[in-house]
Amino acid sequence: MSAHDVTIYWRPGCGFCHTLRSVLGPDASKAQWRNIWEDPEAAEVVRGLNQGNEVVPTVVIDGKGYTNPDPGFVHETLLE
C-alpha cells in the first residue's frame, strides 16, 4: 500500500486511463480506482474538479486533484 491516499477516477474506453494503468503496472493496486460511469458520486467529484466536465483520468492524491496527470508522477507517488 502507498503512504499516500490515491484515488484514480476513470471510465471504460479512455485511452489516457489505459495508459495510466499500464504505466502503473502491478502498483496500480495501491490506488483506489473509481469508474465514473458506474459510480455517480465519483462522477460528481470529477465534475467538481473539472468545471463541470467529466475529464478522466482525474487523480486525487492526499486530497489534491490532478487532471490527466503525468503517469510517471502518479507512479512515483504510489512508490513513496
Q: Return the H-helix or E-strand segment holding 29.
A: none
Cα–Cα distances (Å) from 31 to 7, 47, 51, in that order, read 6, 20, 24
Calculate helix-pair angle for 15-24, 71-79, nearest 10 degrees. 40
CATH code of 34's domain: 3.40.30.10
Summarize pLDDT for 12-26 with one digit per residue, the tens: 999 999 999 999 999
Alpha-carbon span 20 to 17, nearest angstrom: 5
Domain that holds residue 66: 6-74
Alpha-carbon span 13 to 36, nearest angstrom: 12
pLDDT > 80? residue 2: no
The count of structural domains within the chain is: 1
80 domain residue, yes or no = no
79 domain residue, yes or no = no
Per-residue pLDDT averaged across 3-13, rounded? Answer: 95
Please state the pTM of the whole predicted model.
0.94
46 domain residue, yes or no = yes
Query: Confidence class of residue 11 from pLDDT cuts 50, 70 and 90?
Result: very high
21 domain residue, yes or no = yes
1 domain residue, yes or no = no
pLDDT value at residue 1: 65
